[in-house]
Amino acid sequence: MKKIYFIILIIFLSSCSEDKDKESKNGLLKITFATDWKAQAEQGGFYQALASGKYLEKGLDVKIIQGNANINIPRLLASDSIDFGMGSNSFIPMNMVVNNIPGKAVMAVFQKDPQIIMTHASNNVENIEDIMGLPIMIADASIGGFWLWLKSKYSFKDNQIRKKTISLAPFLRDTSSIQQGYLTSEPYLFEQVTGEQPKVFLMADYGYPSYGAMILASNTMIMKDPKVVQDFVDASIEGWIDYVYGDPTLGNKLILSENSEMTEEVLFQAIGKIREYNMISNEASLGKDIGKMSEEKWKNFFNIMSENGVYDKDLNWRDAYTLDFIEKGN
């Protein structure tokens, strides 16, 4: 199986690299941007920027490469196989520092990580504190992630953990069950099957300090081509403003053409959730503050994780990001 994954990776790297360092027609600069999963609303602003010509206006001929379960964005950046990549959460660029991968976050689309805890409406749980001591279905990958924050802030214990599978069936069968999920995914699936709305607790609203959907760039790109980085960031922000607060038609059309498993209904409900929960901005600014990151939030994330043994306390955590391409603050 490992051999198969290696072959897949080599093929992926080859497909990413074959057009590298070539100018497109009309003098445009070819740029490759790899996402963390198949085309979906959680990447919608990037597809909107591509479909509406925002990148072209900056002189960039952008190719978006869909992610999959085996994609390793940091490795692709380190091998110079892509120009930019998408970081799902704050662990990604922080782990790049740990592994001496020369790259960092230059922008964060999601000010709130979309991770949620979900219960049935009939459940007596009214807030995250009520879950302390109760069984909760958690994915293996999350045990070393947001679960550490829950243990740190709410004194959750590892004996609460029950294995979360890809299927929603175990949650549907037991009305007393509790599980993690993604704001724009599991609640909608639950509603489609049951006709009811689950109780949703967005961990970011309780203080979970991770960013989401970050743009990652190599240190070489940042040092040698800062204008390219700035142009890609600026065009992406414009795309996200259009996608969430304007007309997402162009972006959705491109997403649907790229991902045959996606539907228009799923895309629109996801956009609605992004707005309802102020995931990337708030209704007052309507996206004008998209992309911001702050040293305070990064420090908070690092402190929690280092206190729980994820990172050495002497790690130079500031190497995980730069504020040079966005307005400082947030």
| pLDDT the model gives residue 22 | 55
Percentage of the chain beyond pLDDT 90 is 82
What are the structural domains of the chain? 2-112+210-320 (3.40.190.10), 115-206 (3.40.190.10)
207-233 per-position pLDDT tens digit:
999 999 999 999 999 999 999 999 999
Of residues 158 and 26, the one with the higher pLDDT is 158
End-to-end CA distance of the chain: 44
State the Cα angle at 168 between 66 and 130, rounded to 5°.
110
81-93 per-position pLDDT tens digit:
999 999 999 999 9
Query: Tokens in use for 288?
Result: 């004008």
pLDDT of residue 106 exceeding 50, the answer is: yes
Strand ranges across the sheet with 178-182: 161-163, 136-138, 178-182, 115-119, 199-202
Indicate the pLDDT class of residue 287, thresholds 50, 70 and 90. confident
| pLDDT the model gives residue 305 | 92
Q: What is the pTM of this model?
A: 0.89
146-174 per-position pLDDT tens digit:
999 999 889 999 999 999 988 899 999 99
